[in-house]
Structure 1
């Protein structure tokens, strides 16, 4: 692209390196799977780093007695990564903190942000990514927020990779809430404040049309059999709205300090 600066997010090419950092197995598929596939199908080399093995997740069905959920979810993660075209997968070995309650020793949220930033920073230095992607944590899960904080700290003041936070815009989640109120009127969804859902639409800096990689995303999500898909039960139109466009917010690293 002579005379212009290529948009590395929208137009990945062979030779580009991406680093995607998530908290749990399935975040890479249910969360930003289409973004990953968008990059890999265009030739970028994508490394996924997963902080935990998802030990505190809630199984979709009862597992056989003695089954280690973390081991099951790691296998699911590796299979899903294959569908998405991931070149390298790294697990950091922290324990899943769970959504709430006390964080035990070794849990991701028990690790100081500065410590996590050092671990992530070493990977950034080794891989030399052009693009880094994390989930924005607007679902409120403390592990998602912790990975985001760790990566922001790792890249603070950096002139290196572009950092994007994968997010769900408020307007889309309002559609979801309206549908949940119709199809599941007896659940707690009706008590949610629509204004607090997801990311403000004006904060979204990039939208990727991921229609072309929908099959890869679907195949990756299907590998996470131990978990309930957040897209189960949605109308066809709303499910497609979630899965054929990915929303991201570019982070101005000059605003963040180590």
Structure 2
């Protein structure tokens, strides 16, 4: 709890409803219990998050997931939330300068002590996750107070090995992922106590369009064990991003129409 209290005001920036609960639900709940302010930002409504688009057309699913996210955050005690309003599956097409500027405005308004988001790998390899992680790192570099810590969600080798069969069964990761980190690289590693874990599972269960089938298939106990760990690394410095920057997927680097490529990492 001393570590959690030391996070101060927390701003989480994520791609889809349920990212925040899976990757930082315990952190958010514990931070709120410690009396800290927690603000959550979600880039998209997750309207493509279904294998049954006839039952769940995009508009209907977006509305449903907005309600589910509200209920999820209520369980965690989080009362401040912002949507960025981008299209699910298209974050990597958003002009980076625009997205960075919007997140920077929120950082300027919230003045967080800690920002949590995806690392460069996007946790699962999802392009939306990767884009949001890039935007957030650049926005922190541009707008955050000097004291602000940027923590990026990470996967440990032990967790990846323990849950490999489950992860493969449910296609959790894009081929070639996850990228695993050593315990010594972590800035924060939470193994949730039973009360906080139960609260996190309840929050995830509130997002039933995404989790009900998974919980039923895995069983409540295995599902809880699967989501019991949350790990974060301290971010490396981000490149400066302007309105003319774009992400070169083929070469995995930033490019800018107004800046020599060698100056962007």
Q: Same fold (TM over 0.5)?
A: yes
Structure 1 unaligned spans of 5+: 1-5, 98-106
The whole-number CA distance in structure 2 between the counterparts of 1:180 and 1:140 is 13
Q: State the 1:60 CA deviation.
A: 7.3
Give the secondary-structure state (helix, strand or coil) at the position aligned to 1:71.
helix
Q: State the 1:171 CA deviation.
A: 2.2
Matched with 1:151 is 136
Matched with 2:180 is 199
Matched with 2:68 is 76
2:124 to 127, 134, 139: 139
Q: 1:17 to 1:188 in 2, by over 3 A?
A: closer
| Contact map agreement 2:92 2:131 (CA 8 A) in 1 | yes
| Contact map agreement 1:21 1:147 (CA 8 A) in 2 | yes
Matched with 2:29 is 37
| Contact map agreement 1:176 1:238 (CA 8 A) in 2 | no
Give the secondary-structure state (helix, strand or coil) at the position aligned to 2:4.
coil
Q: 1:16 to 1:223 in 2, by over 3 A?
A: same
Q: 1:192 to 1:142 in 2, by over 3 A?
A: closer
The whole-number CA distance in structure 1 between the counterparts of 2:67 and 2:77 is 16
Question: Does residue 174 in structure 1 map to residue 161 in structure 2?
Answer: yes
Q: 1:29 to 1:179 in 2, by over 3 A?
A: closer
Matched with 1:244 is 228
Structure 2 unaligned spans of 5+: 241-265
* 1:124-160 per-position Cα deviation (integer Å, ceiling 9, x unaligned): 0000011110133120111111110001111227524
Q: What is the 5 A alignment of 1:86-105?
A: 86-97=78-89
| Contact map agreement 2:163 2:226 (CA 8 A) in 1 | no
Question: Does residue 28 in structure 1 map to residue 20 in structure 2?
Answer: yes
Q: 1:115 to 1:216 in 2, by over 3 A?
A: same
Matched with 2:48 is 56
Equivalent pairs, count: 232
The whole-number CA distance in structure 2 between the counterparts of 1:18 and 1:226 is 27
The whole-number CA distance in structure 2 between the counterparts of 1:67 and 1:153 is 31
| Contact map agreement 1:49 1:92 (CA 8 A) in 2 | yes
Give the secondary-structure state (helix, strand or coil) at the position aligned to 1:227.
helix
| Contact map agreement 1:60 1:225 (CA 8 A) in 2 | no
Q: State the 1:18 CA deviation.
A: 1.0
* 1:58-110 per-position Cα deviation (integer Å, ceiling 9, x unaligned): 1579737896110110110111010011120101111111xxxxxxxxx4222
| Contact map agreement 2:23 2:230 (CA 8 A) in 1 | no
Q: Normalized against structure 2, the TM-score is what?
A: 0.76
The whole-number CA distance in structure 1 between the counterparts of 2:138 and 2:125 is 19
Q: Normalized against structure 1, the TM-score is what?
A: 0.78
1:163 to 150, 162, 165: 150
| Contact map agreement 2:197 2:224 (CA 8 A) in 1 | no
